[in-house]
Amino acid sequence: MKSTFFPALLLLIGSGFGFASIDRDRAAASLTATPAIAAEVPGKEENMELIPWSVRRVVGWEDFQGPVLMGTEAVASTNTSLGLSYQLRGGKLSYEITCTFSKTKSWGMLKNDYILAHEQGHFDITELCARYLYKALSEYTYNRGTYKQDITRIYNEIVAKKEALQEQYDGETDHSRKRKLQKEWEERIESMLEETAPYAQYP
C-alpha cells in the first residue's frame, strides 16, 4: 500500500490463481484467491502483460503465456486481479477500478474448449465483483476522518465476496467435473453480468 496526503493515494490488488488438472481422463479446474497489496494498479488498455476484462475480449489459449509448472497435477493456471486506486484532490474523492487477466502468470498445458470455458468463468466472476465494488463505492458517502478505513473495508468485503463466489463455483461444479452444473454456472454468471450491466462502466 502506498499513500500520500495531497493527493491521498491508495492502491490495492487482489489476485487469484486458477488451476486445471486431469482426473479420470476428464478436465477439472479450480481457483483460489489471495488479496495482496501492490505498488501500482494496471491500466485499462491491453498490453504485453495484462488483459482488462471486456465483453468483446474472451481469453484464448494464446493468452496463457507463462511458464508451465511441472511436477503437479495441474495442466493449466489462470491469474486474475481486482484492483482499486483512489485519491483525494481538493476535498473530492476519485477512484479507479481494474479487472485484469495476467498473460505471463497464466499458463496452459492441456488446452481444450471445456477447460478454457471454466477458466473464463473465473475471470467473469472477478469482473462481476469489480461491478459490485463500483456499486458499493458509488453508494459511499465521503467522510474526511474515516474514508481510508471505509474504502479499505469496502474493498476487503468485495474481495471476500469474490473468493466465496469462486469457491462456490468450483465446489458446485466439482472443479468443472460436473458438466451439467458447469453449464448451469456459465448461464448463471452470464445472467449476473447482465444484471450488473449498469455498473459495467466503472472508472
Q: Maximum Cα–Cα distance for the chain, whole Å?
A: 60
- Residue 15, pLDDT score: 55
Residue 18: is it exposed, middle or buried by C-beta count within 10 angstroms (0-12/13-18/19+)?
buried
Contact 134, 202 (CB under 8 A): yes
Q: If DSSP codes are grouped into helix, strand and coil, which group holds residue 88? A: strand
CA distance 135 to 132: 5
Q: Is the model's pTM score more than 0.95?
A: no
Chain CA centroid to CA 143, Å = 28
**pLDDT digit string (tens) for the chain, length 203 residues:** 222 222 334 455 555 554 444 333 333 333 333 333 333 344 578 888 898 888 878 899 999 899 988 877 667 778 889 999 998 888 788 999 999 999 999 888 888 999 899 889 999 999 999 999 999 999 999 998 999 999 999 999 999 999 999 889 988 988 788 999 999 999 999 999 999 999 999 99
CA distance 125 to 190: 10
Q: Beta partners for 74?
A: 21
- Residue 174, pLDDT score: 82
- Residue 176, pLDDT score: 82
Contact 97, 133 (CB under 8 A): yes
- Residue 74, pLDDT score: 67
Q: If DSSP codes are grouped into helix, strand and coil, which group holds residue 15? A: strand
Nearest to 43 by CA among 35, 33, 53: 53
Contact 80, 124 (CB under 8 A): no
> Would strands 50-52 and 26-36 be described as parallel, antiparallel, or unpaired?
unpaired
